[in-house]
Amino acid sequence: MMDLSGMSVAVIGLGVSGVAAARLAAEKGGEVYVSDSRTEDAVATRGADLGDGIEVDLGRHDIERMVDADFVVASPGILPSSPVLQGLKRRGVKWISEPEFASRFLDASLIGITGTNGKTTTTLLVNHLLHASGVTSAAGGNVGGGLAPAASDLARLKERPEWVVLEMSSFQLSGVETFHPDIGVITNLSADHLDRYRSIDEYYSDKSKLFENATEQSVWVFPADDDEVRRLSDGVPGRRYTFGCGTDSSAFLSEGQLILNLEGDIEPVLQRDELPLIGAHNVTNALAAALTARLAGAGSGGVVAGLGSARALPHRLEPVADRAGVLWINDSKATNVAATRSALSSLDRSVILLLGGKDKGEDFAQLAEAMRGRARIVVGYGAAGSRAINELSEALRVGSNEEEESIGGPRASPSLRLVEGSLEDVVVSARNWAESGDVVLLSPACSSFDMYENYEHRGQHFTLLARAEV
């Protein structure tokens, strides 16, 4: 295990990951410097809580101080285009991500999970299935909202688990050097974070760094029908297993049954209607998790029991209220178009969709077909609300069947409405428009930063509003 005695570590950012990295570095004997450009009370409190042995610098980043550090660790919230990282680049100073730093102290087998959607659900499901099988494991990484700790916190555990299951964002993968998962999982790939990346290809390039140190002993779990994953993984060494459609996959759905095919050994898992999670995408997440857990040594009985006891995670197609025949679902984690499209396809009731937030540069017109016959009303709100409604209006007009629309047929388009004001105003409007049998679905396809600190904060507020007595 690495000892940092006599070495210096500079940590950029005082978020959850930065704080965890600083504590790990100090615990391993390093001289630790932490900086953050922010000066808010919450940031100052986190800095003060680190203790006297760690130097904290608020309101600036001292690049000269970092140049001489043995390790520079960047939190995932620090943009590659930020002055501090650009300044380090000009000086020829390399930086690493927090999970990369933590992995050097993790004395356990590693499962690394990335993808555009479904990462958190799959990560926590894998951990749950391993526990249900009696395999010791710990989950963490990019799992937000306090659902699991940062990777550096896992590296500080006194008792070593057999497996560490890490969710890895593209931001975290962009700073890897030696990170090497024993089992690597990609859930899916689609456009995301185009407010941070210059192109989709740049985003995919960071995702592909999961393969950076692949060997013939690596084990990979991929979606069977994702062309981008197939393209990026072409030529990557190691054993491959797939999940998704078709009996040729290692994990698939057939006649309402989740099934594993491990080296030709067909293993029924459970019936689809026995899985307590909403949506076809969660069937896919369950298949990926079951396959990964079995490859990590989980028993078939534990996998069956674990899937049967799984519960919806906060802010991910989470039912939060059922009033007067109207079901309210919090899907605040759906911060991109693909996630919202998946949420819509998972519901078999009439939907009032709440769509908006901070624009991430995606085309809302991609939602048009998924809305037909499912969404009765689409409510645009927040900074991106007006653009979303305008793009959907054009897309639905171009793709409409006039005869079907005129009679309200099964492919009828939704009513598009813009609500200006707060999320409370949006919820009040949705409540007034809702009818028995409807679902009011917060699945915004946008980030939350126009109104909220993060998607968790947005989801929590929506839940309170949905449950409020009116």
- For the chain, give every domain's residue range: 8-94, 103-308, 318-467
Catalytic residue among 61, 119, 207, 315: 119
Contacts of residue 98, Cβ cutoff 8 Å, sequence gap at least 6 = 17, 18, 20, 21, 73, 74, 75, 76, 150, 151, 152, 172
Catalytic residue among 131, 193, 281, 461: 193
pLDDT at residue 12, rounded to an integer: 97
310 touches 398 (CB < 8 A): no
Classify 8-94 by CATH class: alpha beta
- 142: annotated active-site residue: yes
Question: For 410-419, b where at least 16 C-beta lie within 10 A, e where not — what string?
Answer: eebbbebbeb
Which two three-digit tokens encode residue 11?
């940590």
Catalytic residue among 142, 188, 285, 336: 142
Question: For 367-398, b where at least 16 C-beta lie within 10 A, e where not — what string?
Answer: bbbbbbbbbbbbbbbbebbeebbebbbebbee
- 281: annotated active-site residue: no
User: What is this structure's pTM?
Assistant: 0.80
Residue 73 β-bridge partners:
11, 96
pLDDT at residue 405, rounded to an integer: 44
pLDDT at residue 144, rounded to an integer: 62
d(CA 208, CA 230): 11
Contacts of residue 463, Cβ cutoff 8 Å, sequence gap at least 6 = 318, 320, 321, 330
Classify 103-308 by CATH class: alpha beta
pLDDT at residue 154, rounded to an integer: 96
Region of 448 please: left (phi>0), alpha (psi -120 to 50) or beta.
Answer: alpha
Q: What is the DSSP string of 392-453?
A: HHHHHHHT--HHHHHTT-TTPPPEEEE--S-HHHHHHHHHHH--TT-EEEE--SSBSTTTSS
Hey, which CATH number is domain 318-467, 3.90.190.20, 3.90.650.10, 3.40.50.1980, 3.90.79.10? 3.90.190.20
- 432: annotated active-site residue: no
Q: Residue 422: exposed, middle, or buried by beta-carbon count in 10 A (0-12, 13-18, 19+)?
A: middle
Tens-digit pLDDT profile for the chain (470 aa)? 678 999 999 999 999 999 999 999 999 999 999 999 999 999 999 999 999 899 999 999 999 999 999 999 999 888 888 999 999 999 999 999 999 999 999 999 999 999 988 899 999 999 999 999 999 999 999 886 567 899 999 999 999 999 999 999 988 998 999 999 999 999 999 877 666 777 888 888 889 999 999 999 999 999 999 999 999 999 999 999 999 977 889 999 999 999 999 988 999 999 999 999 988 889 999 999 999 999 999 999 999 999 999 988 889 889 999 999 999 999 999 999 988 998 998 898 999 999 999 988 899 999 999 999 999 999 999 999 999 999 999 999 876 654 444 334 445 899 999 999 999 999 999 999 999 999 999 999 999 999 999 999 999 999 999 999 76
Contacts of residue 264, Cβ cutoff 8 Å, sequence gap at least 6 = none
Region of 162 please: left (phi>0), alpha (psi -120 to 50) or beta.
Answer: alpha
304 touches 270 (CB < 8 A): yes
pLDDT at residue 71, rounded to an integer: 97
